[in-house]
Amino acid sequence: MERALVERARSGDRDAFDALVRSRVDAVYRTSLAILGDSADAADAAQETFVSAWCHRDALRDPDAFDAWLSRINLNACRAQLRRRGRTRIREIRLLDPLDDREPASPERSLADRTADSDAFDRAFGRLSVDDRAVLVLHHLQNRPVSEIAAALGAPQGTVKSRLHRARAALESALAKESR
């Protein structure tokens, strides 16, 4: 059924494309927000993703690779948004359930300690390149396997593994600088 929907959208069926957008808009926005760290920029990148997907729908060769193709467009939209922004902003990544505003209780750690750790992580993550942020978000926040990330980035799996390793090392180094 999904393949048929993608095929119809590729041939110009706006209703089919609308159904694809509705089913993926939240995931595209969350990815954009995690990379960009600003809700307005994330909304712009998500909108740009779907506009670009519609305008270039004939470039999709394999309907079964729609999600990887859309992810690649989304990452490029995030890169473009960062270039337009021209500066880095501090961003927050919520790893908790977005519907639950409560933090997990921890008797050993105070709220101030958890907040300081979160702020240090945010600053360290903000120092990473957009490519490093993207691979970390796709793998650790979205729980995507290396094969799916490789398809989204248009890179071999070995390259994605090395980028993931490099991004983790860069984050570790940035966190070490924050703790000094």
Q: Where do the domains of the chain lie, and which CATH numbers do they carry?
A: 1-88 (1.10.1740.10), 110-180 (1.10.10.10)
Q: What DSSP assignment string belongs to 78-93?
A: HHHHHHHH-S------
CA distance 167 to 128: 8
To 10 degrees, what angle do helices 39-55 and 66-85 make?
130
The arithmetic mean of pLDDT across residues 44-52, rounded, is 95
Task: Provide, for the chain, the percentages of residues in helix, strand and coil under a 3-state DSSP scheme, each rounded to the nearest 5.
Answer: 75, 0, 25
Of residues 35 and 110, more confidently modeled:
35
Question: Lowest-confidence range among 3-12, 97-106, 116-125?
Answer: 97-106
The arithmetic mean of pLDDT across residues 66-82, rounded, is 91
Range 49-75 burial, b when 16+ CB lie within 10 A, else e: bbebbeeebeebeebeebbbbbbbbbb
State pTM to two decimals. 0.63
